[in-house]
């Protein structure tokens, strides 16, 4: 895992015990899973709009917001970036078209 993702993951795990008024992440946890998932929808929409605008700095900033909020949801569900990376590793090199075709036959 990249070093910054690893350090951020550790912070997100540590925030599970923090008071909601001391930390943005603790406030997200205190708001419950529905609130965290709503943020994912908002951030994904913001990334779509940035992509349409085509301003590189905005696209990067919105993608970072979406990755960050996705990590919050993963940690809240006792998952981690490593779980997602392992899934990407498992898929690596397998054509998306082949994978789609195998789903239709099951
Ligand atoms: N990487 C981030 C990060 N990226 C985005 N954000 C916050 O995510 C929010 C983005 O939401 P929006 O774009 O919808 O803007 P907003 O209207 O201000 O958001 P809301 O008030 O509606 O939630 C902003 O408040 C950002 O500050 C982040 N907040 C925290 N982190 C990391 O998490 C760590 C822990 O943060 P705290 O828990 O606040 O100490 C920090 O040290 C950072 O490393």
- 100 inside domain: no
CATH at residue 72? 1.10.287.1080
Those residues of the chain that have pLDDT short of 50 are none
User: Is the distance from the beta carbon of residue 42 to the nearest atom of ligand 1 less than 6 Å?
Assistant: yes
User: Is the distance from the beta carbon of residue 62 to the nearest atom of ligand 1 less than 6 Å?
Assistant: no
- 14 inside domain: yes
Domain count, the chain: 1
Q: ipTM value of the model?
A: 0.92
The parent domain of residue 57 ranges over 3-80
Most informative mutation of 6, 13, 65, 81 for ligand 1 (most atoms within 8 A of CB): 65
pLDDT at 55: 98
- 50 inside domain: yes
- 98 inside domain: no
- 19 inside domain: yes
pLDDT at 51: 98
Burial class (CB in 10 A: 0-12, 13-18, 19+), 21: exposed
Q: Whose CA is nearest to atom 26 of ligand 1?
A: 65
């Amino acid at each position: 895992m990249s070093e910054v993702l690893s350090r951020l993951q550790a912070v997100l795990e540590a925030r599970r015990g923090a008071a909601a008024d001391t930390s943005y992440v603790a406030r997200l946890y205190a708001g419950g899973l529905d609130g965290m998932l709503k943020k994912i929808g908002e951030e994904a929409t913001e990334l779509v709009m940035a992509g349409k605008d085509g301003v590189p700095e905005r696209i990067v900033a919105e993608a970072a917001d979406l990755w960050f909020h996705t990590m919050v949801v993963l940690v809240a569900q006792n998952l981690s970036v490593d779980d997602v990376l392992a899934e990407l590793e498992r898929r690596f090199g397998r054509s998306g078209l082949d994978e789609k075709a195998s789903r239709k036959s099951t």
